[in-house]
Amino acid sequence: MTFKFTKKRARRSDSLSDLRPGEKARVRDLRLPKAIADHLLRLGLLPGAEVTLSGCGPGGDPKVYQVDGCEVALRRETARHILIAPLRLGCAGDD
């Protein structure tokens, strides 16, 4: 009899840079200088917005995120200052 145990990979932090392809999260806070934060807010990265990692550039940087129907490319250094709350996927009958 063979058993295979796998560990669930723990999330290192709750920043946008740690999102994996296809994962969804909700933006909690932007901890960036005002000028950069204002620009990202205009692009739709508002607290409460749903974000999905949809792709990445060569070497993994920059990453492309879908926000409110648009795609936004961010470098890892910027994305790590955007705090997120991962969205839990549940069944239709769960409350």
In a domain, 27, yes or no: yes
List, as one string, the DSSP characters of the chain.
Answer: ------PPPPPS-SBGGGPPTT-EEEEEEE-S-HHHHHHHHHTT--TT-EEEEEEE-GGG-SEEEEETTEEEEE-HHHHTTEEEEEPPP--TT--
Q: CATH number, domain at 71?
A: 2.30.30.90
Q: Residue 73's domain spans which residues?
A: 16-86
**Per-residue pLDDT tens digits for 26-83:** 999 999 999 999 999 999 999 999 999 999 888 889 999 999 889 999 999 999 999 9
25 domain-assigned: yes
Q: Do the domain assignments include residue 10?
A: no
Residue 5 belongs to some domain of the structure = no
Assigned domain for 81 exists: yes
pLDDT score for 45: 93
